[in-house]
Amino acid sequence: MAAIDKAFQNVLLDVEVIIVDRRERFLEDRQIFDSLVDAVIDDVVALIKPSEIQNLRVIYFADQFPGTQNPYVGIDFLLNGHQYDFTQVNYVVDVGGVEEWRLVVGDSQHGGSEGHPFHIHVNSFEVISVNGKLLEPGTIKDTVWIPAESTVVIRMRFKEYVGKSVFHCHILPHEDTGMMQNFLIKKRGQPFPPSIFEPPMHPRLRPLPKTAVGGGHM
């Protein structure tokens, strides 16, 4: 009987050792898990929050048929009602600035016959929602699809580059026929000239002398 009791006690000791060992491993695993969760939370907190937004813009994508602004093609692809003009700067942003853009493709009564992929150069953006449905925090892209009759909300922190850049529809025939606009990234506090194409300008951008128009003197 004493031998059985001794054996039973040894079994209990073994079981206790196993329990303690597994508990320690569990605590170690839990610490690793908690550190990973903290890292993810820190990453989420670092994303662009509503309180950081300094400016809100709305960009409307539309097409018009028959075209009135582009008679050579016969259809107009427009951003906020305008075709691309390389001499215009449509938006000015500051380096380090944070903005929210709402990308809208309207219904058929407002030129929204199809969806458009929005693409911006230089800085990527965080996609916040599509038609009010929130996406996972940290959905970072430089191109996003805007379905027909939809609104996509994005937020951008302009971290890179000082100078002129563009955003446009990423369907090649659309951007090539006008669905594109310019924006200028400048240093905070830096004055913005009325037109970057005012003199002095690059010779290739200067208008031709009047005598050169029409083949010479009359």
Q: Note the pLDDT of residue 29.
A: 61
Q: Note the pLDDT of residue 16.
A: 63
216: in domain: no
Q: Note the pLDDT of residue 103.
A: 95
Of 46, 62, 78, the residue at which a domain comes to its end is: 46
Beta bridge partners of 125: 141
Q: Note the pLDDT of residue 47.
A: 85
Q: Quote the domain boundaries for residue 35.
A: 1-46
- Angle (nearest 5°) at CA 62 between 60 and 66: 155
Is 123 in the same domain as 142? yes
209: in domain: no
Is the pTM above the cut of 0.75? no
CATH of the domain at 64: 2.60.40.420
**Closest to 87 (Cα-Cα) out of 216, 198, 2:** 198
Is 6 in the same domain as 75? no
Is 13 in the same domain as 84? no
Is 102 in the same domain as 195? yes
Is 99 in the same domain as 180? yes
Residue with tokens 């990423």: 170
Is 36 in the same domain as 77? no
- Angle (nearest 5°) at CA 10 between 5 and 13: 125
Here the tokens at position 201 are 């300008």
Q: Cβ(86)–Cβ(136) under 8 Å?
A: no
Is 55 in the same domain as 42? no
Is 142 in the same domain as 195? yes
CA distance 113 to 53: 31
Beta bridge partners of 156: 99
Number of domains comprising the chain: 2
Q: Which residues of the chain have pLDDT under 50?
A: 39-46, 196-218
Q: Note the pLDDT of residue 180.
A: 94
Q: Note the pLDDT of residue 46.
A: 39
Sheet holding 143-146, edge to edge: 91-94, 180-186, 163-169, 116-120, 143-146
184: in domain: yes
**Closest to 156 (Cα-Cα) out of 148, 146, 144:** 144
- Angle (nearest 5°) at CA 142 between 177 and 58: 65
**Each residue of 62-110: pLDDT tens digit?**
887 776 777 777 788 889 888 888 888 889 999 999 999 999 997 655 5
Q: Note the pLDDT of residue 7.
A: 59
